[in-house]
Amino acid sequence: MAGEAHGGLRREIGFWQATSLNVIDMVGIGPFVTLPLILHAMGGGQALWAWLLAALLAISDGLVTAELSAQLPKAGGSYAFLREAFGPATWGKLISFLFLFQVVFSAPLSIASGAIGFSKYLRFIVPDVPVGWEPFIASALCLLMTALLFRRIGSIGKFSIVLWAGVLLALGLVIGFGLPHLKPESFAFWRTELNPMAGAADTGLRVALLLAVYDYLGYYNVCYLAEEIKEPTKTIPRVIVVSILLVAVLYILMNVCVLAVLPASEAMTSSSTVSLYMERVAGRPLALFVTVLILWTAFASIFSLTLGYSRILWAAGRDGNFFSAFARLHPRDGYPYVALAALGLLASVFAFLDLKTVVRAIISIRAIIPFMAQIIAAFVLRTTRPDLERPFRMWLYPLPAVIALSLWGFVLFSPEKGFKMTGLVVVGAGLLVYLLRARSAAEWPFTPRASA
């Protein structure tokens, strides 16, 4: 039945609602605020290399995720994949815990990034806002969003369609007004000379790819809601593939449209590049309207991210593999209020960080666990569980998995200062917490051996 409950959650999200949530997860404020940073790293039209490589990474990794989600359509997504693939009583227990531990940091960082972007574009509409107030606006937005999510999932799924419409309208106007300015050479990005400030081509590409990958993140978030989606084994793989292809086309078109109007030197120095671009092609009134839609997009992204990540923590708390407080559901409407509150409060604190620092931390923390570990999990399940039902199989196996693993490795060795260290510190801290917790509870690897 459509509203059937499963473990306390309700199956009320269909294909279009799930797609809308996934698209607003992916688009968010990301492409609007990272555009000048990517241009600066690569230099002008060469930035399109980063968008294309990030799209290749997203679709390759998305196919891996689609196969895993069809095999294991459980709330929490990656948490369930890692736990089952590596053994729920042994290594899977540790790796899934490390995933949960990093979510406590990366999830509120992702939410905060949307709020920070919101505060930056708000300045285009209200230029008199003091610079020092931007972090406070971003922090307040995180708290407001958390309060809005304290409600039943059915009403949230319907609201997501409205949010999605605003996201597509914003991108539609940006692209629509830029199309008349496009020329054949607009797409010949490989001919564009590198900006001298970009440095070496390899270094610039690594930095730009790191930022572009951030813009595609979210293609897997539909997996987190698996126990609230109708026909998840069919719906989730379709949502992942459709979302990635749609967003990739929109990003590429937006990039070439902006560069067809604004000189690269101007586009890479503005904090509200897309608003500036719209003002140039359509005048200030329409630029203000599009900026409102960009703020709407940021709002929608924060909404969807907070919703999805709260389900990961809920699923782990329910399974006893994380702190039990996260397993608490609202007695009437069945939403995980403790997980929602924790994410919202942490995001409101992280909103005081610099945007580039936040983006770098998100990718650094997540590159190894779950992304690279999840790809290995797909290989492990193919080898150890050939009997497992696979309603969806990744196309051209194992090519997508190999491509995704290679590109994540390329991103991991970004030259950004302190990039790898951030992820290692979080993984190391998570490992320490797990060992202390496992020793206290006499769990693996401290389980007493059976007597002879």
Max Cα-Cα span within the chain: 82
Query: Do the Cβ atoms of 118 and 138 come closer than 8 Å?
Result: yes
Cα gap 311→228, rounded to integer Å: 10
Please give the C-alpha separations between residue 121 and each of 29, 35, 47, 52, 92, in angstroms, as whole numbers: 9, 13, 22, 25, 42
CB count within 10 Å of CB 16 equals: 14
Alpha carbon distance, N-terminus to C-terminus of the chain:
51
Please give the C-alpha separations between residue 424 and each of 11, 240, 374, in angstroms, as whole numbers: 37, 29, 17
What pLDDT is recorded for position 198?
A: 47
Give DSSP secondary structure letters for 281-296. HH-HHHHHHHHHHHHH
Taking only the tens place, the pLDDT of each residue in 114-123 is: 999 999 899 8
What pLDDT is recorded for position 404?
A: 96
Residue-range domains of the chain with CATH: 5-92+147-340+369-413 (1.20.1740.10)
Residue 257 sits at φ, ψ, to 5 deg, of: -65, -45
Q: Name the strand (E) or helix (H) holding 96.
A: helix 92-125
Cα gap 101→429, rounded to integer Å: 9
Taking only the tens place, the pLDDT of each residue in 313-368 is: 887 888 787 888 888 887 777 778 999 999 999 999 999 998 888 988 999 899 99
Contact partners, residue 137, CB within 8 Å, separation at least 6 = 115, 118, 119, 122, 129
State which amino acid sits at residue 168: L
Contact partners, residue 434, CB within 8 Å, separation at least 6 = 94, 97, 98, 101
What pLDDT is recorded for position 1?
A: 41
Query: Do the Cβ atoms of 28 and 299 come closer than 8 Å?
Result: no
List the chain residues with pLDDT less than 70: 1-9, 44-45, 152-160, 186, 188-203, 415-418, 449-452
What pLDDT is recorded for position 340?
A: 92
What pLDDT is recorded for position 5?
A: 45
